[in-house]
Amino acid sequence: MKRGLIAATGVAAMLVSVAACGSSDSDKETDAGGSRGKTLTVWFMDGSNPAGWTDAVKTEFEQKTGAKLDIQIQKWDGIQQKLTTALSESTPPDVIEIGNTQTPSYAETGGLAELDDLKKEIGGDWTESLNKPSVFEGKQYAAPWWAANRVVVYNKKIWADAGITDVPRTRAEFFKDLEAIQSKGEAEPLYLPGQNWYFFDGLTIGAGADLVKKDGKKYVSNLGDPKVAKAMEVYKQYQSFSKAPKDKDEATPQQADVFAKGKTGAFIGMGWEADTAVKANPEIKKDIGYFTVPGESADKPEGVFLGGSNLAVAEGSKKKDLAKEFLKIALSDKNEGALAKEVGSIPNKDALLAHVKGNAVAEAAAPAAKSGGTTPLIPEWANVENAPNPIKAYMTAVLNGKSPEEAAKQVEADMNKRLSQKQ
């Protein structure tokens, strides 16, 4: 296995507190594995570990093991180099939070310990879509912690004014509703810029498409696949209801700021973007609703990109057994359920989804999580997303009139060059 260490940033983190959970009689100190007197170091990214959840997990861990827990919060700025350096030293942090799609990069370069035994012990019922990014070349190198995905954020007043009385259950119904808003002529039905590429990635997942394919020992572009073209044609149909620029993404301008003006029927985004809209215009809060991105049929939601974080053990840790004890506690049904209930994250087991009940965003996101997915889980993929992202260029080309096949050929050389580069 390669030993040059490559780090990567995690996914956008939760910024709310979790109420502390009380410990039970079973939490008494056991000095498991001779841990008393030892200190386990855990790195979380800034904002990822809510205060109440952290306090509960820390208390439970210290009572059960007799060890101390040293939680160190890392800033996003400069984390790549910092973690690269830390994992190459003789005393790395024992447990680290990693962005789910970046886990393969760490695994390939030798920074992560194998966790196959942990998976067998506590992960038999982990949701497959959430656990898939924790696996590299058939081995478990991390554990799924939490996930989040996009939903439809809509303006209930605009929909009601267009005569719409219920949320759509299929893609065809969604298009019909957008047509009703369009015919009313008073609002933009959907704000969808041409380069909202994570939504497009979800559509490719729904179409059963892969963005890359194996050519011998290397990966190359698969944008020419008819399934990718089908996904892009669906995106084009969605985008036809929008006045957003075809050559910009959802951050230019921020789609939440556009929605906040109260003249947009809906946008497709993360739940926290609705909070951004409310900050810009508090009056809009009462009109905001959420629903699952509908798929081709009512029994299966649209494919979605699952962002989130995994927890992993550093290969260089001298306390791997103790680190695994921490993971057992942090990822227990009790603590996973507490996290999901308070912050609205998608837990790592389908059986725990009941904990998001009452959280409107999470309730809208949850149905799509099981059939969701990620970008290609290969270390080389990070090069593709570096600006200027060729996938975005492909999307704009199609929206401006090129066929999906022509657009794929236009960016293929650049994409293949990126896929051939080692980080």
Q: What is the pLDDT of residue 31?
A: 54
Q: What is the pLDDT of residue 102?
A: 87
pLDDT at 415 over 80: yes
DSSP-assigned letter for residue 289: E
- Segment 32-57 shows an average pLDDT of 89
| pLDDT, tens only, 46-84 | 988 999 999 999 999 999 999 999 999 999 788 777 887
Q: What is the pLDDT of residue 252?
A: 96
Tell me what the pLDDT averaged over the chain comes to: 91
- Segment 204-230 shows an average pLDDT of 97
Written as six digits, the tokens of 147 are 């996930």
Whole-angstrom CA distances from 39 to 186, 296, 318, 323 are 62, 52, 11, 10
Q: In this predicted model, which residue has the larger pLDDT, 99 or 190?
A: 190
CB atoms closer than 10 angstroms to residue 51: 12
What is the 3 state secondary structure string of 102-156? HHHHHHHCCCECCCHHHHHHHCCCCCHHHHHHHEECCEECCEEEEEECCEEEEEH
Cα–Cα distance for residue pair 126/25, rounded to 1 Å: 27
| pLDDT, tens only, 319-343 | 999 999 999 999 999 999 999 998 9
Specify which of 27-31, 88-92, 117-121, 381-385 reaches the highest per-range mean pLDDT.
Answer: 117-121
- Segment 235-250 shows an average pLDDT of 98
CB atoms closer than 10 angstroms to residue 12: 17
| pLDDT, tens only, 287-298 | 999 999 999 999
pLDDT at 27 over 70: no
Q: What is the pLDDT of residue 164?
A: 98
Q: In this predicted model, which residue has the larger pLDDT, 344 or 18?
A: 344
Q: What is the pLDDT of residue 423?
A: 62
pLDDT at 409 over 70: yes
How deeply is 394 buried, as exposed, middle or buried, from its count of CB atoms within 10 A (0-12, 13-18, 19+)?
Answer: buried
Confidence band (pLDDT; 50, 70, 90) for 372? very high
* Identity of the amino acid at 327: L
pLDDT at 364 over 50: yes
pLDDT at 14 over 90: no
Nearest C-alpha neighbor of 23 from the set 336, 356, 325, 335: 335
- Segment 353-361 shows an average pLDDT of 96
- Segment 393-399 shows an average pLDDT of 98
Taking the CA atoms of 136, 47, 149 and 247 in sequence, report the sign of the dihedral they define: negative
Cα–Cα distance for residue pair 126/130, rounded to 1 Å: 7
E strands in 17-67: 39-45
- Segment 193-206 shows an average pLDDT of 98
* Ramachandran region, residue 80 (left: φ > 0; alpha: ψ -120 to 50; beta: rest): alpha
Cα–Cα distance for residue pair 104/219, rounded to 1 Å: 15
145 neighbors 349 (Cβ within 8 angstroms): no
- Cross-strand bridge partners of residue 310: 98, 144
Written as six digits, the tokens of 281 are 């215009």
- Segment 175-192 shows an average pLDDT of 97
Confidence band (pLDDT; 50, 70, 90) for 4? very low
Cα–Cα distance for residue pair 274/154, rounded to 1 Å: 9
Task: Annotate 250-273 with DSSP letters as a single string.
Answer: TBTTBHHHHHHTS-BSEEEE-HHH
Terminal C-alpha separation, the chain: 15
Vertex 305 angle, CA 390 and 383, to 5°: 35
User: Strand 218-221 relative to strand 212-215: parallel, antiparallel, unpaired?
Assistant: antiparallel
- Segment 344-366 shows an average pLDDT of 96
* Ramachandran region, residue 52 (left: φ > 0; alpha: ψ -120 to 50; beta: rest): alpha
Does this model's pTM top 0.85? My answer is yes
pLDDT at 311 over 80: yes
- Segment 342-369 shows an average pLDDT of 96
Nearest C-alpha neighbor of 306 from the set 275, 267, 252, 270: 270
pLDDT at 110 over 50: yes
Q: What is the pLDDT of residue 400?
A: 98
- Cross-strand bridge partners of residue 269: 151
| Packing angle of the helix pair 390-399, 226-239 (nearest 10 deg) | 60
Written as six digits, the tokens of 97 are 């939070």
Tell how far CA 272 is from the center of its chain. 13
Written as six digits, the tokens of 367 are 């149905």
H or E element, residue 236:
helix 226-239
pLDDT at 302 over 80: yes
Q: What is the pLDDT of residue 3?
A: 34
Whole-angstrom CA distances from 274 to 270, 377, 388 are 8, 29, 27
Percent residues over pLDDT 90 in the chain: 85
